[in-house]
C-alpha cells in the first residue's frame, strides 16, 4: 500500500505529479524562491530549530530571497527571464537539517528526556 501511495506522488512515475511539480517550479522561479523558503518557522518549531542550526550565510540568502519575492509581489512584477532561468527552486538546503532535528526529537522522546526546546506554538 505504501509503495502505491509513493508511486502516486512520485513525479517520475505519475504524469499529474510531474505536471504539478512543473507548475510549482515555474511559480517559484518567477519570484526567485526555493521550495524550502516556503517553510514557516512559526508553524512548526522543528523548522525553527533547523533554521537556527543552519550557517548564517544560508539564512541570509533565504531572507534575501524572501524580501525580493515580497518586493516583486508588491510591485505586481516577476524576475526577468534571464534570472528566472538561473533559479533552482527544488535545490534543498533545509531538508537534511530538518530530518536531523526530527530524528533527534524522536530519540529524546523515546528516551524520556526533556525536550531540547519549548514545544509550544505561540
C-alpha cell at 49: 530549530
Cell 519575492 sits on residue: 69
Mean local confidence (pLDDT), 95-118: 85
d(CA 94, CA 51): 7
Computed on alpha carbons and rounded to an integer, the radius of gyration of the chain in Å comes to 17
Give the chain's length: 122
pLDDT tens digits along 31-83: 999 999 999 998 888 999 999 999 999 999 999 999 999 999 999 999 999 99
For each of the domains in the chain, give its residue range(s) and CATH number, in order of start: 1-109 (1.10.1090.10)
Is the backbone of residue 34 left (phi > 0), alpha (psi -120 to 50) or beta?
Answer: beta
pTM above 0.85, yes or no: no
Q: Which residue has the higher pLDDT, 113 or 86?
A: 86
Pick from 45, 44, 43, 35: nearest CA to 65: 35
More confident residue, 89 or 9: 89
Amino acid at each position: 500500500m505504501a509503495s502505491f501511495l509513493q508511486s502516486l506522488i512520485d513525479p517520475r512515475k505519475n504524469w499529474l505529479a510531474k505536471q504539478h511539480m512543473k507548475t510549482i517550479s515555474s511559480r517559484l522561479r518567477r519570484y526567485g524562491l526555493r521550495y524550502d523558503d516556503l517553510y514557516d518557522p512559526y508553524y512548526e518549531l522543528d523548522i525553527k530549530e533547523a533554521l537556527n542550526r543552519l550557517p548564517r550565510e544560508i539564512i541570509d540568502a533565504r531572507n534575501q530571497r524572501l524580501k525580493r519575492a515580497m518586493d516583486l509581489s508588491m510591485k505586481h512584477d516577476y524576475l526577468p527571464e534571464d534570472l528566472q532561468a538561473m533559479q533552482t527552486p527544488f535545490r534543498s538546503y533545509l531538508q537534511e537539517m530538518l530530518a536531523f532535528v526530527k530524528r533527534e526529537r524522536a530519540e529524546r522522546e523515546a528516551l524520556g528526556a526533556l525536550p531540547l526546546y519549548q514545544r509550544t506554538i505561540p
